[in-house]
Amino acid sequence: MDLLLWNVLFAAIPLILVIVIGVVLFVIARRRRADPAGGEGQPSRTAGIARVVAVVAFVYGVAAAVGSLLAAVVVVSSAAQGSHGGNAVTLPVPASTATAIPDSVLPPFDLGGELLSYGHFSEVSITGFGMSSATALLFFAPMILTPLLHAIVAVGIATLAKRIELNQGFAPQLAKTAVVVGTSLIVIGSLSQVLETYGTSLARHEILGGSELGGWIGPGPVDLTHVAAGAGILLVAVLLKRGEQLQNDTKGLV
């Protein structure tokens, strides 16, 4: 399945490039037709930098969204055809701490004046076959969710850069965009992390069930980076909303 997915993605690279080029040309054409009025809509002094950031982020977001869509099509179509049983997946399998590493793999190295040339494996990866369609959907879900999250964040950055370019630092869309991005980071990031652990455990249970290697994977280290980032962006959304209200209240006073 891994090989099939990557083959499809690589084959789709020309299509992605065509879409990205088309989007860039569309954005350029719209900018040339635009005639912003004076005041808030006028480009800022940093308009050039903001414009570059907006275009790059938007192009990256489109590419990530297309990648997520292609991954979803491959996974769902394969599940519908029941083809997961004939495709290999790579699974982490715990190994006994007594599994010695040969000297040819681990050459001697110096540690405080003492030469060491021994060690052990704690985990190895194997190639397995025979997952059910439901398990395959869970196992490959993070491959769909990760680029989708990248696309949402990139579009959020593009929106922010566009408003900075037009001197619209407290535009209503910014607070809404920040809420969407912050919520997506928390929800999609957490869901992807949970599905990665659960999907791998379920795949091991199906493929290696009946052997001592078919057990469930215990909870690993919890990465809360996406939660912290999402919470921070939600706080920024609150500040943007208050800034928008203050701007509306003081409009016409100066």
Give the contacts of 229 (CB within 8 A, at least 6 positions apart): 182, 185
The 10s digit of each residue's pLDDT in 129-154 is 667 777 888 888 888 898 999 999 88
The 10s digit of each residue's pLDDT in 191-248 is 988 888 888 888 877 777 766 666 666 656 677 888 888 888 888 888 878 877 776 6
C-alpha dihedral (65, 69, 72, 76), degrees to nearest 10: 160
pLDDT surpassing 60 at residue 101? no
pTM of structure: 0.66
CA atoms within 13 A on the CB side of 217: 21
Indicate the pLDDT class of residue 187, thresholds 50, 70 and 90: very high
DSSP 8-state assignment for residue 210: T
> What is the average pLDDT value for the chain, to the nearest integer?
71
